[in-house]
Structure 1
Amino acid sequence: MNIPSSAITYTTCYHCGETCTEAGIRIQDKHFCCMGCKTVFEILNQSGLCEYYNLNDKPGINQRIAARKDKFAFLDDEKMQQQLISFKDDSSIHITFYIPQIHCSSCLWLLENLHKLEEGIQRVTVNFSKKEALVIFDHRLIPLRRVAEVLTAVGYEPYISLQDLKNRKPRAGKQLVYQLGVAGFAFGNIMLLSFPEYFDSKDLLQGDLNRLFRYLNLALALPVLLYSAQAFYRSAWAGLKHGFLNIDVPIVLAVWVTFVRSMIEIFHGAPGYFDSMTGIVFFMLIGRLLQDKTYKGLSFDRDYTAYFPIAVTVLKDEQEVPTSLPDLKTGDTILIHNNELIPADGIIVKGRALIDYSFVTGESAPVSKTIGEIVYAGGRQLDGNLEILTIKEVAQSYLTSLWNRDELKEKKEESYSFVHLLSRYFTWVVFLIAGLTAAYWGYHDPSRIWSAVTAILIIACPCALLLASSFTNGHILRILSRHKLYLRNAQAIENMADTTHIVFDKTGTLTGKAGSSVIYYGGTLTPVEEMKIAALARQSTHPLSNAILQYCGIPAAMEVKDFKSFPGEGVCGVVDNTFIRLGNAAFTGAHKKEEQAGSIVYVAMNDKLTGLFTIRNSYRRGLRQMMAQLQDHYRLSVLSGDNSYTAARLRKLMGHNAALHFEQQPADKLAYIKMLQQKGEKVMMIGDGLNDAGALKQSNIGISLAEDSNSFTPASDGIMDAQQLPMLLSFINLCKANKRIILLSFILSLVYNIIGLYFAVQGILSPLIAAILMPSSSISIILITFSLSEWYGKKLNRSEFQQFPDKYHIPD
């Protein structure tokens, strides 16, 4: 018997929402379009993860095309794994998958609960905007291949293409351009078909033809309503799901109000306003597209080259060659000193590794590695010098992603809170104004209601302010980067601008390598003993160790055993059966502190005091004028581990109101920062990241100076090239200008909205004109903020310190 098609009942798949074409695939009252979707539901149901379906309606991915068996067999190959994974130790592997199927909050929830689905998966962190998932799993319990298969089984097959390992992920589709094209086509043709209405001439066309044109306008408007406006629907719906009205809600409402009003008018013999409706979408899409283009041009999502300008030591023909990170290649042998960060994956070829992977894993216990084993980027060497053969170039954005991890930073108040409050509550104010306007014109002149309300919904939008804030922050970060100050994020700009007290470390910060003078006092050192001391000093990146190394000369290939570094005290190790200590008096067993000029490093061999080095470093050029300028605006302090012999000269440099503290241990520096903060100070700490990591982290903003070593510390909020220190006040002023620019954009945006609303509430502003003005105002404010940021940036180029770099030079 034939069943009429009208009698067929179509059901939708409980998992993915597609029409079920196969009968009988069901579990109780739940229907599925294919066995794949049914299987995924069973997996989630057995694991107690069906809350996935409560977060969004039909959130799943269609499973009709199942992944072929052994599709991920290539992941069993260790060589392939090595190209993909970011980190591996005895218990875990870190790998980032690109998953294009991620599309809603249910996806995020399910992926981040994947550890409940499969034993061995420890954690999944999703980057929703990039459609990436960082998966951390225990490779003793589950292989990499199985992780990929589990993701595929629940509908999130990872995109793995070895050809694209060195390239960016596949570019997003040009849907916005297609939507704009459809809206532009419909808008142009609707205007063409509406010419008789514009001229208000009933003689141009017969009545039937006129009605035909109106219905053609309706047909042209439907693709705009259902397809071109989807970008605004998605944004508005995302805001509603999270419980607030974002700036796209009034736009969506304006489009639908205009469409429904036009439908009613057409069925009553009037022309309607489809030209205005399609024009709204068309011009808003132009604005959205231009904003996207502008954002890409000013993007501040920088890669590792913007954060790590410092160099590593590459060994070539038995020579140590400082090499910037972007120039580091696979196959280079690099020398990692004690306390340096490993910038790329490599194989140990010389030395013993004791790696602190807390930067990567959060675990503080160091991991021992020996020759032939792999060490990964992001670890810090804690056991003397280490030579590694790089097997990967510096991973793009990997070190950056580690630095930007939320768990490495204390939570701070959101920057420019008035901007975010505005975006959250502005829409309610817009609806209130629209409601009052509708009530007023409903009583006085009902014909003006629709045009007034629609214009208000379009014209009143804070998006210009929100965009200006992002663009200004991003461009200021780029300008600072051009001048070799690399801040972690936009929040650091505000923290730098709010500084009230600046604290400096002395050795390696106020003083530099150039012009160092080293004098040795004590028992005569033989050439062999000098080579042993140099071999020990070579393990450390501390400025005093480097000065001693230069004094003793580059050592022969002498192995240092049992090397240990004690921050703020010294270093020790066994060189050719001689136990050597280099450090302060207490560390080396000196009972009497010698009053000598400069920094003092004592030497003890086999627990017997041998002598001491005095190191006099010159203060960096330009400091005298910088300090003179800073004294007028900020309170200043210096925390030094040296003795107070140079206090008089330092006082002359810093000014009489500066606080000078000598013989400071790392714990003392940290306590001093906390004491200042308890007094209400906003503290900027500037150090070299060696003995002051705790103080850098505790301060409101910590800046780590870098010269020619990879001594970057994750405790800092920024890295500054050491030669740029004299420009500190100019950098702070630029950060303050950033705040002024955003405040100016706020005022301009507010003025624009007030003027626009003045005309809109009177019903004399066409919705089409409002749709043109809104994106135009956004772009104009962006251009203004860009120009102002660039103008302030050019003032840095005219800095006196750049024009006269040798003018100010003070010996220690």
Structure 2
Amino acid sequence: MEDLSCYHCGDTIKTCITFDEKSFCCNGCKTVYEIFSENGLASYYDLDAAPGAAPGKFEGKFDFLGNEQIVEKLLEFDDGNTQIISLYIPHIHCSSCIWILENLNKLKPEISSSQVDFPKKSIRVTWNSKKLSLKELVLFLSSIGYAPYISLDDTETAKKKIDRSIIYKLGVSGFAFGNVMFLSFPEYFEVNEFWLDQYKGLFRWLMFVFSLPVVFYVAQDYFISAFKGLRAKILNIDVPLALGIVVLFVRSTLEIIFDWGTGFFDSLTGLVFFLTLGKFFQQKTYNFLSFERDYKSYFPIGITRITSEGKEESVHVNEIEKGDRILIRNEELIPVDGILINGSARIDYSFVTGESEAVKKKSGDKLFAGGRQLSGIIEMEALKSVSQSYLTKLWSNDVFQAKKEDSFTSLINTISQYFTVVLLIIAFTATAFWAFTDVKVAINVFTAVLIIACPCALAMSTPFTLGNLLRIFGNKKFYLKNAGVIEQLAKADTLIFDKTGTITSNKKSSITYEGVELSAEEESLLKNTLRASNHPLSRTLYDMLAEYEISPPKEFREFTGKGIEAVYDTSAMKVGSAEFVGHTASTTTLNTSVHVSANNEYKGRYVFYNEYREGAKELFEELAPEYHLSILSGDNEGERSRLQKLLPQQTEMHFNQKPENKLEFIKSLQQKGQKTIMVGDGLNDAGALAQSEVGIAISENVNVFSPACDAILDASAFGKLFGFIKASKAAIKIIKISMVLSFLYNIVGLYFAVTGQLSPIIAAILMPLSSISIIVFTTVCTNLTGRKI
């Protein structure tokens, strides 16, 4: 009975409960196993042996979740039908936990989706609130062994708790190491009389006692990880380290029991201390870079605020405060929870809930952050300040982005699979050779080989290099969705640019009007119609027209790539292409034009004379020698001659391109094996941005939120685009160099270990130093690369 462990949680069984030929420690574990088995999720146990936690009894613990005011504070989203919450779950610890928590919809049909953030030990759950309450959800999670920790004072407190266990382990191992070294002094200085006559046995057994908490408490993570890996038939990185610790401990214990010698307790405690110290510094460095990499906290979404005088001002989204009146245009994202005041709201919450059906809202209804307005312009009052982490969580949500390959991660995973096997072969071979000469040296060789050859530095080179470069890019106003985008930027061989709003500046266009003069009323309606649109031409024309009294349209529709239409009490306005407004006259212009009709009567057109962005000519000259360049424009060929003077000769130019044409053009290039970067304004180019390997949205004030893109480049940094791409290529070189350095370190270290010239304690010091040196190397190199942009 004592040898039995629970099939579900792994705890030692005191009272055995047998079910389905498996042993369980309690009815709770048996019930969880039954739930998983009945729902076809028994493969949970294939991913990791005994991965679960025994569910406790929670009667009354979560009764506070029956209070609607408390629930409202905890929820991220609630539209009456769908609710979303992020919960901190301390027990998340392995791949099985992730797997089962992301398959909750198979256990509870009321749950539509669940996503785990493993580093933060949190889960984001979306469910039908009509069929399942928050309390029922929390009790269900608790019943399967994943009870969430909920803090009412601050729901973020639990997530920000620092794991102090490594500090405690560092203290224990350091204390033990210092005392064992002190007790070893008589041996070091060969004080035979004092040592042999009175205190030899006492000192040796004291060293044994000091080593016990080091082996069974401080080093337990290595044993647990190695055991789980072996149970899953995987030789992970912790197997050789655990084996080395066991060999040192067993050998040293046998030496003092049989009085063969003083053992290796100094090497053992020193090894674990320096491993823990290295892990501590790696964690501190990683936490620092993780903080620095949270560049998305500064994600520059601009928003229009209406002042107390009724004027509109564009402000940084961080400046929005509770009580502010906000203007939301067509296709804009709602940045903060609020109350609808004016306008007809049709809100698309698909970025939040995954449901594509738009929800109609009337004045007085609550609106939630993350929704996109689809029906013209609305005004709302903010109920709280903006949570940028929530907005950027939507942008970086991989649900809305196809997974793009990360070859370095897969390469490292492949190397790691074979690394441990090769290492063990070398260790056993070298030990067998030395065993015929000197058993003590053989033990040292075996342990030193297992310690010195660690792929930690190899595994850390990629995340630290890319993570630091993400931070540098963010500081220079180039915001990437994730680190994988850097690798895709480095691989690209083709760049495609949209014209309007991308290589042209919306703020420098000159405009002339041709046609029947508009009356004051018509110009006022035109101004109010443009007020709801976010298209670059609409914004430019809106800023040019005189100020008029605000009169929101009753109905508003925007047709992508064609134009906009608005209906008022007695009038209707159409603004867009000639075809869209119903104009068929033969007079044409080769310049970009926006046509206007009032009550289905054609009035005229505004002709735009584009000004190209500062630095555009130099940027294309830098790109031309290394990349295939193309221009895709929805406008006619009026700008061809100017573009030919601006762009290199080999640049392809395609005009009259609709959004679907741009998408098909990207696909055709990809079918030829080309790796593409699409640079657009994030509006009409959404499909092309999503299809390309890297989609970059250029924006003047970044007030249009675009999950379709992989990166957002501030318009002021447009001329630095080639510098960013070069820096991405340099980052890949840095990763390759750090990999080579890591392999060289392992080869040199193995040479000294195999030849018996390296003691285990020196190996333990060198191993974390190698990882830290790689971190320093990649950080310094990426910082130097960033300065060149």
Fold conserved between structures, TM > 0.5: yes
Cα deviation for residue 80 of structure 1 reads 2.9
Q: Which residue of 2 aligns with 1:439?
A: 432
Q: SS state of the match for residue 690, structure 1?
A: coil
Cα deviation for residue 192 of structure 1 reads 1.3
1:102/1:131 contact within 8 Å kept? yes
Task: Decide which of 160, 185, 191 is 1:195's aligned counterpart.
Answer: 185
2:595/2:606 contact within 8 Å kept? yes
Q: Which residue of 1 aligns with 2:161?
A: 171
| One-letter identity of the residue aligned with 2:58 | A
1:300/1:475 contact within 8 Å kept? no
Structure 1 pair 247–511 and aligned structure 2 pair: CA distance change class (3 A): same
Q: Which residue of 2 aligns with 1:86?
A: 76
| Aligned: 1:132 with 2:98 | no
Q: Which residue of 2 aligns with 1:530?
A: 523
**Where in structure 2 are the equivalents of 1:341-360 lying within 5 Å?**
341-360=333-352
Cα deviation for residue 304 of structure 1 reads 7.5
Q: Which residue of 1 aligns with 2:635?
A: 642
Structure 1 pair 584–730 and aligned structure 2 pair: CA distance change class (3 A): same
| Aligned: 1:367 with 2:356 | no
2:509/2:609 contact within 8 Å kept? yes
Cα deviation for residue 445 of structure 1 reads 4.6
Q: Which residue of 2 aligns with 1:312?
A: 303
Q: SS state of the match for residue 788, structure 2?
A: helix
Distance in 2, matches of 1:12 and 1:341, equals: 52
Structure 1 pair 266–664 and aligned structure 2 pair: CA distance change class (3 A): same
Task: Decide which of 628, 635, 657 is 2:650's aligned counterpart.
Answer: 657
Structure 1 pair 59–734 and aligned structure 2 pair: CA distance change class (3 A): closer
Structure 1 pair 795–191 and aligned structure 2 pair: CA distance change class (3 A): same
Cα deviation for residue 235 of structure 1 reads 3.6
1:547/1:615 contact within 8 Å kept? no
Single out whichever of 193-202 and 736-745 deviates more from structure 2. 193-202
Q: Which residue of 2 aligns with 1:299?
A: 290
| Aligned: 1:678 with 2:671 | yes
Q: SS state of the match for residue 270, structure 2?
A: helix
| One-letter identity of the residue aligned with 1:373 | D
| Aligned: 1:401 with 2:393 | yes
Distance in 2, matches of 1:13 and 1:627, equals: 65
Q: Which residue of 2 aligns with 1:807?
A: none
Q: SS state of the match for residue 587, structure 1?
A: helix
Structure 1 pair 238–648 and aligned structure 2 pair: CA distance change class (3 A): farther
Q: Deviations for 1:125-153, whole angstroms, at most 9, x for unmatched residues? A: 33333221222221111222222222233
Cα deviation for residue 673 of structure 1 reads 0.9
Task: Decide which of 574, 581, 596 is 2:567's aligned counterpart.
Answer: 574
Distance in 2, matches of 1:329 and 1:622, equals: 37
Q: Which residue of 2 aligns with 1:251?
A: 241
Task: Decide which of 754, 759, 783 is 2:752's aligned counterpart.
Answer: 759
| Aligned: 1:221 with 2:211 | yes
| Aligned: 1:261 with 2:254 | no
Q: SS state of the match for residue 508, structure 2?
A: coil
Q: SS state of the match for residue 159, structure 2?
A: coil
Taking only aligned residues, the RMSD between alpha carbons, in angstroms, comes to 2.7
| Aligned: 1:603 with 2:596 | yes
| One-letter identity of the residue aligned with 2:608 | I
Q: Which residue of 1 aligns with 2:486?
A: 493
**Where in structure 2 are the equivalents of 1:693-704 lying within 5 Å?**
693-704=686-697
| One-letter identity of the residue aligned with 2:774 | I
Distance in 1, matches of 2:668 and 2:291, equals: 35
Task: Decide which of 269, 281, 290 is 2:281's aligned counterpart.
Answer: 290
Cα deviation for residue 382 of structure 1 reads 1.3
Q: Deviations for 1:21-57, whole angstroms, at most 9, x for unmatched residues? A: 8x89998998887776677677778877777667656
Distance in 2, matches of 1:17 and 1:433, equals: 33
Distance in 2, matches of 1:375 and 1:68, equals: 35
| One-letter identity of the residue aligned with 1:275 | D
Single out whichever of 500-509 and 778-787 deviates more from structure 2. 778-787
1:119/1:142 contact within 8 Å kept? no
Cα deviation for residue 182 of structure 1 reads 1.0
Cα deviation for residue 105 of structure 1 reads 4.5
Distance in 2, matches of 1:641 and 1:468, equals: 43
Structure 1 pair 465–593 and aligned structure 2 pair: CA distance change class (3 A): farther
2:531/2:539 contact within 8 Å kept? yes
2:76/2:84 contact within 8 Å kept? yes
Distance in 1, matches of 2:163 and 2:114, equals: 26
Task: Decide which of 700, 708, 718 is 1:715's aligned counterpart.
Answer: 708
Q: Which residue of 1 aligns with 2:316?
A: 324
1:232/1:252 contact within 8 Å kept? yes
Structure 1 pair 717–239 and aligned structure 2 pair: CA distance change class (3 A): farther
Q: Which residue of 2 aligns with 1:541?
A: 534
2:297/2:389 contact within 8 Å kept? no
Distance in 2, matches of 1:559 and 1:120, equals: 39
Distance in 1, matches of 2:567 and 2:171, equals: 73
2:591/2:637 contact within 8 Å kept? no
Distance in 2, matches of 1:304 and 1:138, equals: 33
1:303/1:396 contact within 8 Å kept? no
1:300/1:477 contact within 8 Å kept? no
Q: Which residue of 2 aligns with 1:803?
A: none
Task: Decide which of 204, 214, 221 is 1:231's aligned counterpart.
Answer: 221
Q: SS state of the match for residue 169, structure 1?
A: helix
| Seq. identity, % | 45
Q: How many matched pairs? A: 786
Cα deviation for residue 405 of structure 1 reads 2.6
Distance in 2, matches of 1:253 and 1:734, equals: 42
**Where in structure 2 are the equivalents of 1:771-786 lying within 5 Å?**
771-786=764-779
Q: Which residue of 2 aligns with 1:101?
A: 91
Cα deviation for residue 119 of structure 1 reads 5.2
1:595/1:645 contact within 8 Å kept? no
User: Unaligned 5+ residue runs, structure 1?
Assistant: 1-7, 797-812
| One-letter identity of the residue aligned with 2:457 | A
